[in-house]
């Protein structure tokens, strides 16, 4: 029931996704227990190191230069400022620091050198460093790895079919290519999607099918609920129900048992009870801190209360690497 498989069919995934909800949750909780310590949740912090002014047209994104969202485009932050922010996040209990840039692809200039400096500095503090910088060349992936980068986030966001309705300035194939480049350099892959963008259940199943049939499952799978931002084409989308989040999380858990499944954007709108359902369904990672990239996140005090209430503890950093006996850079 919980073996690692890369040969899932869409029909099998659809059958799982559509199981009676409580049965689905029970099975996901069982598989979660077989592969992870269910008392641990990975605590990650995000920082937007280069905000806004992005040339891409992702319909959900407040950072695209094409939409009037009231967000000011900023330059890349200074490495010293970013490294101090990471130290603060670490002191608040975070073990993974994820830096996001509103780029179509990583630059080939001083900005990229500065990102490498950030990666080196934060890795040296013993945190798992993750970046999300858009498309990467082979050489850039090698340089990031060399600087100590632990993980790279690059989401597929939705099904291949629906992708064209959400983004026209790049293709699904471009996304898959960067994922392969990252994998080739032995960087941990973080790849997931967003629900609530007007996609069908079949689109969600198709996204999970693509993820779970990659040659290797992503080590992290972020499940985001759309945050409808004023000024984007998605501003009037209705909030997704928690039941849809639970189905998505549980199906990700059952098809990719070893992955860290991250309850990502949208958590800010969830009660503790709703979040508890997501943890029961197999989520074992969250973002904490004041902001995600540009939108508000849950209050840290409330999150600590929730951990206390549910008996959860933050997961230590580099646990995967330690279990796989890989060299860790701390």
The set of catalytic residues is 54, 58, 61, 98, 130, 190, 262
Kindly state whether residue 114 participates in binding ligand SAM, applying the rule CB under 6 A. Answer: no
226 binds, among ligand SAM, ligand SF4, ligand DTB, none (CB under 5 to 8 A by kind): ligand SAM
- In total, the chain counts a number of residues equal to 330
Kindly state whether residue 303 participates in binding ligand SF4, applying the rule CB under 6 A. Answer: no
DSSP secondary structure string, 220-272? Answer: EEEEEEP---TTSTTTTPPPPPHHHHHHHHHHHHHHSTTSEEEE-TTGGG--H
Out of 27, 155, 158, 288, the only residue in the binding site for ligand SAM (CB under 6 A) is 155
**Which token pair is 240?**
């997704």
Report how many residues bind ligand SF4 under the rule CB under 6 A: 9
Among residues 197, 264, 276, which one has the least CA distance to residue 229? Answer: 197
19 binds, among ligand SAM, ligand SF4, ligand DTB, none (CB under 5 to 8 A by kind): none
199 binds, among ligand SAM, ligand DTB, ligand SF4, none (CB under 5 to 8 A by kind): none
Q: How far is the CB of 222 from ligand DTB (least distance, A)?
A: 3
Helix ranges (H only) for 45-159 are 79-91, 110-123, 138-147
Between residues 25 and 208, which has the closer beta carbon with respect to ligand SAM?
208
Considering only residues 213-252, where is the footprint of ligand SAM by CB under 6 A?
A: 224, 226-227, 229
Out of 13, 56, 95, 314, the only residue in the binding site for ligand SF4 (CB under 6 A) is 56
Secondary-structure breakdown of the chain: helix, strand, coil percentages, each rounded to the nearest 5: 40, 15, 45
Q: Which stretch binds ligand DTB (CB under 6 A): 142-150, 158-166, 220-228, 268-276?
A: 220-228
Whole-Å CA distances, 83 to 106, 127, 292, 296: 19, 11, 17, 21
Residue linked to tokens 């004023």: 230
Out of 122, 151, 191, 194, the only residue in the binding site for ligand SAM (CB under 6 A) is 194
Opening angle at CA 227, ends 223 and 228, nearest 5: 140
238 backbone dihedrals φ, ψ, rounded to 5°: -80, 145
Kindly state whether residue 97 participates in binding ligand SAM, applying the rule CB under 6 A. Answer: no
Report how many residues bind ligand SAM under the rule CB under 6 A: 18
Report the interhelical angle of 201-212 vs 242-255 (nearest 10°): 30
Q: Point out which residues bind ligand SAM (CB under 6 A).
A: 60-61, 63, 100, 102-103, 132, 134, 154-155, 157, 194, 224, 226-227, 229, 265, 293
User: For binding to ligand SF4 (CB under 6 A), which residues are involved?
Assistant: 54, 56, 58, 61, 63-64, 102, 104, 134
């Amino acid at each position: 029931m919980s073996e690692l498989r890369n040969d899932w069919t869409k029909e099998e995934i659809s059958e799982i996704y559509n199981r009676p909800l409580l049965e689905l949750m029970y099975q996901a909780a069982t598989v979660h227990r077989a592969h992870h310590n269910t008392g641990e949740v990975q605590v990650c912090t995000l920082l937007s190191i280069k905000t806004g002014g992005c040339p891409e047209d992702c319909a959900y994104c407040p950072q695209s230069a094409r939409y009037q969202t009231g967000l000011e485009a900023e330059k890349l932050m200074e490495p010293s400022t970013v490294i101090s922010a990471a130290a603060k996040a670490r002191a608040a209990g975070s073990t993974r620091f994820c830096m996001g840039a509103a780029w179509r692809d990583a630059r080939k200039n001083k900005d990229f050198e500065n990102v490498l400096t950030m990666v080196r500095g934060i890795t040296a503090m013993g945190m798992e460093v993750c970046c999300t910088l858009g498309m990467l060349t082979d050489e850039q992936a090698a340089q990031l790895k060399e600087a100590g980068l632990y993980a790279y986030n690059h989401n597929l966001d939705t099904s291949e079919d629906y992708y064209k309705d959400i983004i026209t300035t790049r293709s699904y194939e471009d996304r898959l290519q960067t994922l392969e480049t990252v994998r080739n350099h032995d960087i941990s892959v973080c790849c997931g999607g967003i629900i609530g963008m007007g996609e069908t259940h079949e689109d969600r199943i198709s996204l999970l099918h693509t993820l779970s049939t990659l040659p290797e499952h992503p080590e992290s799978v972020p499940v985001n609920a759309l945050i409808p931002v004023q000024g984007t084409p998605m501003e009037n989308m209705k909030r997704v129900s928690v039941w849809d989040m639970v189905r998505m999380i549980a199906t990700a858990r059952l098809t990719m048992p070893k992955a860290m499944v991250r309850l990502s954007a949208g958590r800010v709108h969830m009660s503790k009870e709703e979040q508890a359902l997501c943890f029961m369904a197999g989520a074992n990672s969250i973002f904490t801190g004041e902001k995600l990239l540009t939108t508000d996140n849950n209050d840290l005090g409330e999150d600590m209360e929730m951990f206390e209430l549910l008996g959860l503890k933050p997961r230590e950093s580099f646990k995967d690497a330690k279990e796989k006996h890989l060299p860790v850079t701390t």
